[in-house]
Structure 1
Amino acid sequence: MNRTGVKTAVTLAAWACIVTIVVLSLAPADEMVRTGADGHLEHTAAYAGTGFFVGIAYRVEERWAVLGGLMSALAGTMEILQHFSPGRHPGFSDFGASSIGAVIGLAVAGLAVRNMLLARRSVR
């Protein structure tokens, strides 16, 4: 697969993760999908994975603060909108776990991008 194909695949993965977070965050309580892990760990893992793909797709090394802010805004918006979902309630600690996960994912993406760039330069 060429670079354009990889970029497209990663961008689609990022948006698929975002859509999944939105759907699962707004599902009524009786339809919630749980892994059996601690809820905060679920939030952290979901946003870390999403943050990783978003960071790779949208060049985290150039837009660290913007991407982190947008991911935190998504987390906050999802928590607030849970007021309108039957049986759900927002939680500040859930927002915190989600935001921390997003930062972890973006940081890992930043390291991955940096290492790929360094490897590419050393090959030349």
Structure 2
Amino acid sequence: MRLFALSHQSNHRIARVVSWSCAILLAFLSLLPNELEIRTGAPDELEHFFAYFFAAVLFSISYPQKRFFVAGTLVAIAGLLEALQVFSPGRSVRLLDVWFSATGAIFGVVVASLIARCNVRPLRSKQ
């Protein structure tokens, strides 16, 4: 007996909450003033790539039928957030950052799609 088993609907709801929380965190961290910026110590490009990669994986799990939309939306958000940094003290706009963010988003959707494809089991006919 599984006491803590969650229904498929509950898992889906949790995935969406985590995805949107990640998107809010991306926006918040992207628009912080330079002196409050939180860094991992990794190169900027890797931070951008992996932030959008994991966001794309999360959104692809949350919205499995809309993966192309997820990729396009995250690419657009990457460009928008980078452009808005012009209004954040000490921050600057770098097209290279947009490119790495967009690449991370696309790779994240591709990886999530491949994982989903591997997890689908064909229906077997009853004999």
Report if TM-score (shorter chain) is over 0.5: yes
Letter of the 1:65 partner, please give it: F
Match of 1:81 among 80, 84, 102: 84
Match of 1:53 in 2: 58
Match of 2:69 among 61, 66, 71: 66
**Structure 2 alignment gaps of length 5 or more:** 1-5
Q: Check if 1:95 corresponds to 2:98.
A: yes
Match of 2:17 in 1: 12
Q: How does 1:8-47 map to 2 (within 5 A)?
A: 8-47=13-52
Aligned length: 120
TM-score by length of 1: 0.90
The separation in 2 between residues aligned to 1:41 and 1:71, in whole angstroms, is: 16
Rg comparison, structure with higher value: 2
Q: CA deviation at 1:65?
A: 2.6
Letter of the 1:7 partner, please give it: H
Letter of the 1:93 partner, please give it: L
Q: CA deviation at 1:113?
A: 1.7
Structure 1 or 2: more helix by fraction: 1
Q: CA deviation at 1:117?
A: 2.0
Q: What's the C-alpha RMSD, in Å, of the aligned pairs?
A: 1.5
106-115 or 78-87: bigger deviation: 106-115
Identity among equivalent positions (%) equals 32
**Structure 1 alignment gaps of length 5 or more:** none
Q: Spell out, residue by residue over 1:8-28, the C-alpha distance to the aligned partner (whole angstroms, 9 max, x if none).
A: 111111101100100000000
